[in-house]
Chain A
Amino acid sequence: GESVGLHLPTLSVQEGDNSIINCAYSNSASDYFIWYKQESGKGPQFIIDIRSNMDKRQGQRVTVLLNKTVKHLSLQIAATQPGDSAVYFCAENRAGGFKTIFGAGTRLFVKA
């Protein structure tokens, strides 16, 4: 089986409930933040991003909130589905920056 993420923080939610995954970022100079989803056996996949001039951004069933004061990022998934089960990573970067810094990830389990 997939060995990545064995010791990650875990969030378990009931199908249909909303999920909130939190992330603290480290670099005050970062001004671009991304959430990635990684399913078992696959590479990370872009979900949604937000720039530092925004506090909130919405996509399809997902919302990202940014609190620059406390350097905190969250991903909200509405009406969580079994297909949302994965490891979710937050990442930070800055304008023109080649290097993206990834957090350790959170594993989301969706119970049917």
Chain B
Amino acid sequence: NAGVTQTPKFQVLKTGQSMTLQCAQDMNHNSMYWYRQDPGMGLRLIYYSASEGTTDKGEVPNGYNVSRLNKREFSLRLESAAPSQTSVYFCASSGLAGGYYEQYFGPGTRLTVT
């Protein structure tokens, strides 16, 4: 049971380049999330998927798109990377436990846009 896995671990992009961050979970969770984490700030929600087939915007969705490929996989795409998107990106999944959603996080992708 690997939990939540993310690829790649590190990435450097030039402004304007595109890339897709991959995330997979093996806990049979319905909900998945993408966050970004910047220095001195907490986690900010980019997009989430409450269940397979649905996606919704979070707090900071501009410049990103997502795909819930199946129940296991949730990808985040940067179509035209900008330096402001330099950040650490975390994927998370959650399952309902006693009426509440406990989130489990992946190890993160450290992205630098030059």
Residues of A within 8 A of B (CB): 3-8, 32, 34, 36, 41-46, 49, 51, 89, 93, 95-100, 102-105
Count of chain B residues with a beta carbon within 8 Å of a chain A beta carbon: 29
Among the stretches B14-22, B38-46, B62-70, the one at the interface with A is B38-46
Residues of B within 8 A of A (CB): 4, 31, 35, 37-45, 48, 50, 58, 88, 90, 92, 94, 99-108
Decide if A104 touches B99 in the complex (CB within 8 Å): no
Query: Which 10 A-B pairs rank lowest in CB-CB distance, beginning with the nearest?
Result: A43-B105, A7-B40, A102-B42, A102-B43, A6-B39, A104-B42, A32-B100, A95-B99, A44-B105, A98-B50
Known contacts A5-B39, A99-B45; A42 and B102 CB within 8 A of each other: no
Q: Main SS of the interface on chain A?
A: loop
Max chain B Cβ within 10 angstroms of own Cβ: one of A34, A100, A102? A100
